[in-house]
Amino acid sequence: MSDVVRFPEAKTVIWVCGCGCTSFELLGDLTARCVLCGAKPTTEVGGWFPSEKGQAWIGDLPTSEVASNEDGTGFMRRLASRRAAQENVVLTLACEDTGRLHLWADAHDEEQRQWARDRLASAIEMLGPKE
């Protein structure tokens, strides 16, 4: 039991990965993994930070608003960029506020292009119904 993690004193804190993300997946082996970079929490790739309501990402400070985007789209841009850079990504779409689109698909035949169309249709559904 020499690997027991010592939790901080009872105060409001939040674990922040070394990449800056504060969101984690809980795995079946009772460990956690950062949803942004995939690192498992260790003192080498993160740490405990004070967490105060309304705290936003400023330099090396963490955000405590894990489920919101109140500080703008900066975090989501970093998340999307990192995900797009993964080696298994075969389709990316970016849209500027002007409406200009940037699409890349590693699709070389009609079957692969149809697969990409199906994924884009699924993405449209994720936006929710038209009002």
Mean pLDDT of 7-34: 78
Total structural domains within the chain: 1
Enclosing domain of residue 55: 1-68
Mean pLDDT over all residues of the chain?
A: 76
Domain assignment of residue 57, yes or no = yes
pTM higher than 0.85: no
Domain assignment of residue 43, yes or no = yes
E-strand spans in 51-111? 91-95, 101-105
> What is the spatial distance between Cα 89 and Cα 71, in angstroms, rounded to a whole number?
27
Over residues 46-82, the pLDDT tens digits come to 777 776 654 444 445 444 334 444 455 777 787 788 8
Helix, strand, coil percentages (3-state) for the chain, rounded to 5, are 20, 20, 55
Domain assignment of residue 127, yes or no = no
| Residue carrying structure tokens 């990402």 | 57
According to the model, what pLDDT value does residue 104 have?
95
Domain assignment of residue 34, yes or no = yes
According to the model, what pLDDT value does residue 113 have?
96
Residue closest to 17 by CA, chosen among 52, 37, 4: 37
On the CB side of 52, CA atoms within 13 Å amount to 5
Domain assignment of residue 98, yes or no = no
